[in-house]
Structure formats: structure tokens, C-alpha cells
Amino acid sequence: MEWTYIVTAGIGVLFLIISFFIKDRSKQNEEELQDLSMNLYQELYQLKKRTKLLEEELMIENSRPVKKAVKKSKPVNEIIVNQVLSLHKQGLKVEQISNLSSLPVNEVKTLIKNRS
């Protein structure tokens, strides 16, 4: 029985001595964790900075007046112009002339106004 106590105590002392020579991995893990967290903070800072710049650009673009594209109409064929004027002289309404000539109402009005 005494031998078991001596062997157990010897094994315990041996493990204690071995534990002093084994590298402590917790410090290495802690350093890796700190590096990782610093990298994440830096990336987060850069992302916030980029989003702020993009938001400012959007605000600048929204504050600028947007020029509307002026739609230039194609020149109307002279035959259609004569047809529109003829129908107008006959007393048809602008909407009817628009339907018959396949031109928009505004363009029919412009043609009548300019050519009459």
C-alpha cells in the first residue's frame, strides 16, 4: 500500500515538472484573438468611412437639379402635315385628327398652330 502512495506521488511530481516545460498555448491564442479583433475593428472603420463617403456623394447628387431630357420630335412627313391641315379645315376635333394621323395630340396642335 505504501508503494502505491509513493508511485502516485512520484507521478504527480513528474507531471508537475513536465508542466513547466510545456508551452502555454493560451498566450498564443490570446495574441491571435487580439490580432483578429484589431483587424476586424480596422475593417469596420474603413467600411464606415466608405459608407459615409457614399452617403455624402448621394446627398450631393440629390441636391443637384436634374436636367430633363428634351424630347425632340422627328420631322413629320409633309403628306401627313397636309392631311392634318386638311382634316382641321374640315372641322374635325384635334383628338380625331390625332387618331387618324397616328400623331400625338400635342404634335397635332403644334402642327395646326405653326402651319395655320
Cβ count near 102 (within 10 Å): 7
Q: Note the Cα 101 to chain centre separation in Å.
A: 45
For the ranges 39-43, 64-68, 78-82, the lowest mean pLDDT is seen at 64-68
Q: Distance of CA 7 to CAs 15, 18, 77, 115, Å?
A: 12, 16, 115, 121
Domain-by-domain residue ranges, the chain?
26-64, 78-115
Distance CA 88, CA 115 (A): 11
pLDDT at 49: 95
CA pair distance 64, 94, nearest whole angstrom: 39
pLDDT digits (tens, 9 = 90+) for 6-23: 999 999 999 999 888 887
